[in-house]
Chain A
Amino acid sequence: MSIRLLSATAAAAAFAAVPAIAQDCPIKVGVLHSLSGTMAISETTLKDTMEMLIEQQNAAGGVLGCELEAVVVDPASDWPLFAEKARELLTVHEVDVIFGNWTSVSRKSVLPVIEELNGLLFYPVQYEGEESSKNVFYTGAAPNQQAIPATDYFLEELEVEKFALLGTDYVYPRTTNNILESYLQQKGIAEEDIFVNYTPFGHSDWSKIVADVVALGADGKKVGVISTINGDANVGFYKELAAAGVSADDIPVVAFSVGEEELSGLDTTNLVGHLAAWNYFQSADTEANETWVAAWKERMGEERVTNDPMEAHYIGFNMWVNAATDAGTTEVDAVRTAMYGQEFPNLTGGTAVMLPNHHLAKPVLIGEIQEDGQFDIISQTEEVPGDAWTDFLPESAVLMSDWQELECGMFNSQTETCVQIKSNY
């Protein structure tokens, strides 16, 4: 965060402090990220990010004249425990806002609780969409902010004609691949030119799948791989890819779940040129990002990297701070109303805007893997508004979400009725 920004927020906080005397101090911020179990790999980083953001904010004077206090709980990668811990945060610790979750299933687990108790959750990870909850702000990418632009890049810039959609067998790859299959068919790719494969979490035996992908090229069409492979399994996949000598120029791979963190477990020399699509890369060349990366490294150690969900928390947290300041309270409904239209500068340049459908408008970046495990950004779009319901599946094309005007997250624009107020889980 740049100094100017900090002082601006501090000043705003000072002005807003007058009506905020009724505010209970300290303001509690719930952090609901797994610190143990399988997801600790990714989520611990986000817990550290939140602690850093809260410290920075307290150093700048807190919010509404109050100190912020992080309430960290460990849902231990256990999905039912997420619901339990969310209830605990909201009813026992009485937090004003929760930042948390990584996997979709954990989000689905806390949704009923958050909606029942009218809490506020900021969800920082790219996800499959097809959901809109009144009580959740989605600061990660929806499919149209990551998957669709990356596919367009494949179609237009790399002229890929045959697609291998490889994914880990869970909801994000399933839904994303479903959307992509439908999208590709609309773009004129024949059904038999789309190869889909699902593997279990942590899969390590990739030789046959890589061989299958290489064999796809036998009919003379350019093959591209869209990977929604999650977590550790990527290590084996990329090692096999490198061993098979698959060059990014012959069969490019674009990944949606591989960021700087994941690459730190790999030797990337043989992977140079393969792609990833995100809304943020550590290599983004802006002033704000340099400060952010420096602060992170100073706190966590020189070898640590930053990644996209961290930026999502960065934007989400700052927007929440500004919205609470604007509303003069941390009361959920007031903050929620104040969130719409909040703007905050991205770390990659440009400005993120919170839309009435609780998604952000953010730029989409495509990066090529470099030898040092970082990404070289080769394409950056304008801000793309996040879309809760994809336009490329017939069931959800008719749905829209607007919590500001329509006050409905699942509005059928054809029949003009609100399908349901609660979200589907």
Chain B
Amino acid sequence: MAKAWNPREKLAERMDQLHGSQLMRAIFRPGSIFRRGYADSPRNRAYVVMNSLLYHLHPVKVKRHGIKLSYTLCLGGLSFFLFILLTITGIYLMFFYRPSVEAVYGDMQRLHTQVSFGLLVRNLHRWGAHLMTISVFLHMARVFYTGAYKPPREFNWVVGVILLLLTLLLAFTGYLLPWDQLAVWAVTVGTEMMKNSPVIGDQVQFALLGGPVIGPETLLRWYTLHVLLLPFVIVIFISIHFWRVRKDGGISGPM
């Protein structure tokens, strides 16, 4: 007797064909769940990590205590995740933003009222930035309290302090961009402090503001710093930071 028509079985068969096709095998490396024959085996568990561009930041195995939530609180990983979120939302905001004093405030208002999801994306960017500042700061505290900065990880701690500074600079340069009363005067207060640098105080302030006071040049300058230079630099330091975590022996030992 002919087999009854079973759509579920048919679908499974088709999916199997798709997963076994040359195209899928060419795109996905062994260990991917998109290839035929993924089964839960130690070999495939290793392949999942090794054969993926993103996941291979991780080692195949970690010490058991390293996955305890109470040890790391995921703070480093969350900081990185928030950085990616900020990059994505930031790119979206850049579509609707012109860094010139004449246009900027109108663009902000249009972002709130006319752009699809404009306000939500801006909120995500703003609150995400505050959260990233906090999580980077707490990450530093966690690393200190677990003694994870000790040899052989001293240099990675130094890189981490640089990353904290870059995070603060990114947050601060972004603070000016809405060009409202809150932004401009907060930045005025912040840059007034730098004027007090010994000997080169005025020059430092001039370089930062593009003039003796905040003006159109400051906006363009901080915009460029915020969307281009500082992200570029921080990505380099993030790469060094992650690479050194692996090279210095993975996650630090238990207390």
Q: Tell me, yes or no, whether A binds B.
A: no
A binding-site residues for B, Cβ under 8 Å: none
B binding-site residues for A, Cβ under 8 Å: none
